[in-house]
Chain A
Amino acid sequence: AQSVTQPDIHITVSEGASLELRCNYSYGATPYLFWYVQSPGQGLQLLLKYFSGDTLVQGIKGFEAEFKRSQSSFNLRKPSVHWSDAAEYFCAVGASGGGADGLTFGKGTHLIIQP
């Protein structure tokens, strides 16, 4: 069975500093990987996804993520965070090819931005 681990429950970053959110997955084949962001009281918005090809993927809002097969990781990065980036971030894994049974999510990382 597939699984996702987000090791950091909370992360605090100063505005303007760089950010990296960690995600490790367990899956028997090449996975499909996703990052979502959730602002308080809102639904989840897709930031970016990786299916194949270039292991560095660009997303919305200036985010990027890098797939490292050897480390089973898909870490999310942003060079300079803004106060509006404060939110909950979820990493997710899905079956390669796009299975009908949806995605498996990590428990989330809560990002706090210090002024």
Chain B
Amino acid sequence: DAGITQSPRHKVTETGTPVTLRCHQTENHRYMYWYRQDPGHGLRLIHYSYGVKDTDKGEVSDGYSVSRSKTEDFLLTLESATSSQTSVYFCAIGLGAGNTIYFGEGSWLTVV
């Protein structure tokens, strides 16, 4: 158990509305990640963080922003949700040898 909590776990929202997903970790790990999972695409990195207020873009960052004001929380925001952002979002932490990635349970987001 990597001590990662994602909220909400399930959400349905309308096109054009803002959405924020929260990732909370309990053990002060430095590295945190947001991935999205889509059929036929596997997991793709959206954004990552290597410390408080230190974030960078991943492979599919367009339409997403992140913030990390505390070590334990990493927020993913969809400023104006689109149907193409319907997906399963996974938060992850990196720790230990090789910065091994450990995942949360996922957040299912449907944009209608």
Which A residues lie at the B interface, using CB under 8 A? Answer: 32, 34, 36, 42-46, 49, 51, 90, 92, 94, 97-108
Query: Are A42's CB and B99's CB within 8 A?
Result: no
A36 to B43, CA, bound (A): 11
A106 to B101, CA, bound (A): 15
Q: Using an 8 Å CB-CB cutoff, how does the interface string of B46-62 with A read, 1 for contact, 0 for none?
A: 00101000001010000
Number of interface residues of B (CB under 8 A): 26
B31 CB within 8 Å of chain A: yes
Known contacts A100-B50, A100-B94, A102-B45; can you find 11 more A-B pairs with CB under 8 A?
A: A42-B106, A43-B104, A44-B43, A45-B103, A90-B42, A97-B98, A100-B56, A102-B33, A102-B58, A104-B45, A105-B43
B84 CB within 8 Å of chain A: no
Query: Are A108's CB and B105's CB within 8 A?
Result: no
**If the complex has contacts A43-B106, A44-B103, A49-B100, are A101 and B90 also in contact, measured as CB distance less than 8 A?**
no
* Chain A residue nearest in CB terms to B45: A102
Query: Are A32's CB and B98's CB within 8 A?
Result: yes
B81 CB within 8 Å of chain A: no
CB-defined contacts of A36 to chain B, threshold 8 Å = 103
Query: Are B98's CB and A98's CB within 8 A?
Result: yes
* Chain A residue nearest in CB terms to B92: A102
**B35, B92, B103 — most chain A CB neighbours (10 Å):** B103
CB-defined contacts of B48 to chain A, threshold 8 Å = 100-102
A–B pairs, 23, beta carbons within 8 Å: A32-B98, A34-B100, A34-B101, A43-B90, A43-B106, A44-B43, A44-B103, A46-B100, A92-B101, A94-B99, A98-B97, A98-B99, A100-B50, A100-B56, A100-B99, A101-B56, A102-B31, A102-B35, A102-B94, A102-B99, A105-B42, A105-B43, A105-B44
A37 to B7, CA, bound (A): 22
A71 to B94, CA, bound (A): 28
A104 to B58, CA, bound (A): 10
CB-defined contacts of B50 to chain A, threshold 8 Å = 100
CB-defined contacts of B40 to chain A, threshold 8 Å = 107
* Chain A residue nearest in CB terms to B41: A107
* Chain A residue nearest in CB terms to B32: A102
